[in-house]
Amino acid sequence: MMDSELASETSLLQASPLASPLLGVNDVDPVFEQNAGGRSPFLFTSDHYGRLLPEKLGDLGLPESELVRHIAWDIGIAGVAERLADMLGAHLIAQRYSRLVIDCNRSPGVASSIPVISEATAIPRNEGISEGERAARRREIFEPYHRRIDAAIDRRLHDTRPAVLVSLHSFTPVYAGVARPWHIAALYNRDTVLPQLLLKHLRAEGDLVVGDNEPYAVSDLSDYTIPVHGEARGLVNTGIEIRQDLIADRSGQQQWAERLARIFAEIELELRRERLVD
């Protein structure tokens, strides 16, 4: 979905008589921002940063043991993202609500946008929801997050400042009973400039198993943030996935933020030398 389609859908949702409010006075804003005035060329996003649930939805019919799992959010990435943004003086835009409410890295309307099953776990509160509730989740959580990313990119382009998009995620060490060996991975689709630089630097560390589009690859069908905000707008971009057991605690988050800050500082110099960032 391109920007014009997103704007059109937003307009229709706002006008829909079926759409009723989702977030109440006790619910926080869906968008978390850090270093909005940061001068780094890197713009970090985190689609699955948080695991909050709107008060109106209760616990989605799930026990707490399910709501702390990967199905609800990207474990550990919030701590890495915040530290990394601070170290680089970079702008971070993140989404506070659980991907079980609405997945902000999926196109609205696809089955995984508001999942009824996630990794074999049924989500009772997502069963049979009305079009009005779907509209409210998009309008009040999905739309504000992506509008803010759009606005940040618009401002940089208006000010002729570089915008290099980096989407931050984490992945489970085991999936469907199969261990995943990678420590970190670069994800991409059409644009390979930044991913290849990132892969080169990560491999040069010497102590990492590095995934090249593993365990996931970016596509128009499975992703939203990179295709819409990165590729469609012609930005240098990449996705990053870090294995969750490596960043489950503050120590791991700090270590990985320090490592990535050093690597991205080196990459920035290379991008400038190649005139890919002015």
Total number of domains constituting the chain: 1
89 inside domain = yes
**HEC-encoded secondary structure of 157-172:** HHCCCCCEEEEEEEEC
Question: Alpha-carbon distance 237 to 193, whole Å?
Answer: 8
pLDDT at 176: 86
Specify the CATH number for the domain of residue 175: 3.40.630.40
Mean of pLDDT values over 219-235:
96
- Is pLDDT at 146 greater than 90 in this prediction? yes
Report the pLDDT value the prediction gives residue 9, as an integer from 0 to 100.
47
191: domain range?
3-273
pLDDT at 277 over 90: no
**Which pLDDT score, from 0 to 100, does residue 278 have?**
77
Give the mean pLDDT of 98-117.
Answer: 96
Q: How many CB atoms lie within 10 A of CB 3?
A: 16
Q: Are the beta carbons of 201 and 240 closer than 8 angstroms?
A: no
* Residue 217 within any structural domain of the chain: yes
Rounded to two decimals, what is the model's pTM? 0.91
Residue 17 covered by a domain: yes
**What is the rounded distance in angstroms from the CA atom of residue 27 to the CA atom of residue 115?**
21
What is the percent of the chain where pLDDT is above 90? 89
Give yes or no for residue 211 having a pLDDT over 80. yes
In degrees, rounded to 5, the angle at the alpha carbon of residue 247 between the alpha carbons of residues 241 and 253 is 105
Task: For residues 242-257, give the mean pLDDT.
Answer: 98
Task: Tell me, yes or no, whether 170 lies in a domain.
Answer: yes
pLDDT tens, position by position, 153-207: 999 999 999 999 999 999 999 998 999 999 999 999 999 999 999 999 999 999 9
Q: Contact at 8 Å (CB) between 135 and 108?
A: no
Query: For 106-134, what is the mean pLDDT?
Result: 95
Q: Does residue 31 sit within a domain? A: yes
Write out the H or E segment, with its range, that includes residue 271: helix 250-273
Quickly count: other Cβ atoms within 10 Å of residue 80's Cβ.
Answer: 26
Q: Helix (H, G, I), strand (E, B), or coil: what is residue 228?
A: helix
Residue 11 in this model has a pLDDT that exceeds 50: no
Residue 37 tokens read as: 């005035």
Peptide bond just before 181 cis, omega within 30 deg? no
Q: How far apart are CA 55 and CA 69, in angstroms?
A: 20
pLDDT tops 60 at residue 1: no
* Averaged pLDDT score across all residues of the chain: 93
Residue 5: per-residue pLDDT? 47
pLDDT at 15: 42
**How many whole angstroms from its chain centre is CA 159?**
25
- Residue 278 included in any domain: no
Q: What is the pLDDT of residues 18-45, one digit of tens each?
A: 457 999 999 999 999 999 999 999 999 9
The whole-number average pLDDT for the span 93-115 is 96
